[in-house]
Amino acid sequence: MALKFRGVDFIDFDSLLSEDEILVRDNTRKFVEENVIPGIEQWNRDGKFPRELIRPMGELGFYGANLKGYGCAEMSNVEYGLVMQELERGDSGLRSFVSVQSALVMYPIYAFGSDAQKDQWLQAMAKGEKLGCFGLTEPDAGSNPGAMRTRARKDGNEYVLNGEKMWITSGSIADVAVIWAKVDDERGNVRGFLVETDRPGFKAADIHGKWSLRASVTSSLSLQDVRIPASNILPKTEGLKNALMCLNQARYGIAWGGVGAAMAVYDCALQYAQFRKQFRDQPIASHQMVQEKLVWMINEISKAQLLVLHVGRLKDKNRAAHYHISMAKRNNVGIALECARMARDILGANGIADEYPVFRHMANLESVKTYEGTNDVHTLIIGQQITGIDAF
């Protein structure tokens, strides 16, 4: 990497953080600088997920970091958010992997699972010894998950699952999949099921040709008469709302991650503008139009920091509503993508070279803007809250 990250804090944001929060952030930042930054551009080129980082991240407590017990780090939601910020500053794909393991697999087991399921999976997942994936999205059911076609049929002491899932992070490396399906004998009610990936009829195939999240495993899942014991149902799931609760956890982490990606591209653009000379042998940072771009970026990053910190503080008091998290996700990913585009502009032709992280972040953020609720979906969630009218 051509430029070393210097940190981004225009408004003395750190003064709003506790010593423990700063320690968690700095430890994660150190991990990213030492273990992610040196290899990420090559992994991105190769379309390779760095599996060698799975166990070290477990040792640092990144998985299920804000859960209690089962060997989890028991961080506050703000501390967990700061971990997500730094991981995404490294790469969105890496943060996606940790988000899925934590918010979309460990959380539903923790919140909706039986004691036996928690004992079987959570401690091993916290260490990174077992990996999971989350099967909700389907080829024909993305923003409208209620249109899913995956079915579960009770057969004695077993359930038989049939269906297809699409765009599943970690699908082909997971030991267990949290599969959401409509139950035939419950009038199509949506329930969550734990499906071990070595069961007959379960197949995962990696999706190739991605221009985004290239250092992340993305898969399609196929379930053809997959039989699981009835004890594999998540007993406390009682509808699609439970799947959406999981998405809420993930969206919260993404909102922090967007700040990290924005920080990365802003700091790169600022440093570049300070040494790149053009016209009268002056650094381009001396030009009004370049300064205007940099000012827009730091202005929006500062607002994004304050927004997600406040939502995190609310979350730690159990007062964060889903529409608060939608606002943070929508805003922060949106400004991060715009920051990446502005940074690319400032770097000129160098902005498309992977000597710098800008284009990689820009491509990644195109996916981050879409998944866990598109920008439009979050707009409608907020619109529904402020008007009282559902416009979906």
Annotated active-site positions, please? Answer: 372
User: b or e along 98-125 (b: 16 or more beta carbons within 10 Å of the residue's beta carbon)?
Assistant: bbbbbbbbbbbbbbbbbeebbebbbbbb
Q: What is the DSSP letter of 236?
A: T
For 86, the token pair is: 């730094």
List the helix and strand counts (H, then E) for the chain: 12, 7
**First vs last C-alpha separation in the chain:** 44
Residue among 319, 328, 368, 313 at smallest CA distance from 88: 368
Query: How many other CB atoms are found less than 10 A from the CB of residue 222?
Result: 15
CA 244 to CA 373: how far, in whole Å? 10
Q: How far apart are CA 73 and CA 234, in angstroms?
A: 24
Give the orientation angle of helix 240-275 with respect to helix 77-90, to 10 degrees.
50
Whether 299 contacts 338, CB under 8 Å: no
* Distance between CA atoms of residues 209 and 215, nearest Å: 12
DSSP symbol at 218: E
Report, in this order, helix, strand and coil percent for the chain, each rounded to 5.
Answer: 55, 15, 30
Angle between helices 92-99 and 240-275 (to 10 degrees): 160
